[in-house]
Amino acid sequence: MADLKGIAEAIIKGDRDTTAAKVDEAIKENIAAEQILNEGLMAGMSVIGERFKKNEVYVPEVLIAARAMKAGMDLLQPLLAAAGVEPVGRVVLGTVKGDLHDIGKNLVRMMLQGGGFEVIDCGIDVSAEKFIESIKESGAKVLAMSALLTTTMPQMAEVVKSIKDAGIADVKTMIGGAPVTQAYADEIGADGYAPDAASAVDTAKELAGS
């Protein structure tokens, strides 16, 4: 029997080669791609997410674990697609216009992918128009925005307003970043707030209804 627990442990350790080898082994043993994803890859990233929330691991460990997960996902993705396994939801992600910071955003992307989401990453310095275009193209139900500067935070309010003005009623907005707070999310009418990358997964799942 393939070692799904071993896949999770390899991800927790950030061991890319072992992750890939064990995923390959599980595929060859005809274990369902969804089972490998849930009990192996996502189980490992979930532990990293919890430890990150508790400050037991830090950004470098998360990045290394995410890299290991990606090695497994690269092997698994074609099988998941062939089996018609749907992501738990789609999220459009980006750092708002005027803000060029991407480490926090990239962490959120990795955590969301580790939580089973398909992420459409618009990158940095993203305008309201670009966010709306990506939402329409992808059919995503959640938009996650990041800002690291207090000077770019008003862009978040601009995007929330633009989405409402465009009549896109079924998209939920969530925000995060060092200067951002729950109070600011309430003030601008965002649907959710996440204090860190690991919490972003919980918030996105709530908003996506999954």
Residue that finishes a domain, picked among 82, 113, 137: 82
Under the phi-then-psi rule, with left for phi > 0, alpha for psi from -120 to 50, and beta for the rest, what region is 142?
beta
Is the same domain home to 15 and 98?
no
CATH of the domain at 66: 1.10.1240.10
Is the same domain home to 167 and 194?
yes
Contact 116, 168 (CB under 8 A): no
Is the same domain home to 77 and 100?
no
Residue that finishes a domain, picked among 82, 108, 126: 82
Is the same domain home to 28 and 66?
yes
User: What is the Cα–Cα distance from 88 to 191, expressed in whole angstroms?
Assistant: 19
Residue 210's pLDDT is 60
Is the same domain home to 108 and 74?
no
Residue 143's pLDDT is 98
Is the same domain home to 114 and 198?
yes
Residue 1's pLDDT is 61
Q: Give the structural domain span for 175.
A: 89-208
Number of structural domains in the chain: 2
Is the same domain home to 93 and 138?
yes
The DSSP code for 2 is -
Is the same domain home to 185 and 155?
yes
**Helices within the chain (DSSP H only):** 4-13, 16-28, 33-36, 42-53, 59-82, 103-114, 128-138, 153-165, 182-188, 197-208
Residue 2's pLDDT is 73
User: What is the Cα–Cα distance from 41 to 35, expressed in whole angstroms?
Assistant: 9
Q: Residue 15: in which H helix or E strand, if any?
A: none
Is the same domain home to 96 and 181?
yes
CATH of the domain at 169: 3.40.50.280
Residue that finishes a domain, picked among 82, 100, 128: 82
User: What is the Cα–Cα distance from 153 to 22, expressed in whole angstroms?
Assistant: 43
Q: Give Cα 24 distance to the centre of its chain.
A: 24
- Does pTM surpass 0.85? yes
pLDDT in tens, the chain (210 residues): 678 999 999 999 999 999 999 999 999 999 999 999 999 999 999 999 999 999 999 989 999 999 999 999 999 999 998 999 989 999 999 999 999 999 899 999 999 998 999 999 999 999 999 999 999 999 999 999 999 999 999 999 999 999 999 999 899 999 999 999 999 999 999 999 999 999 999 999 999 986
Is the same domain home to 202 and 104?
yes
User: What is the Cα–Cα distance from 72 to 121, expressed in whole angstroms?
Assistant: 20
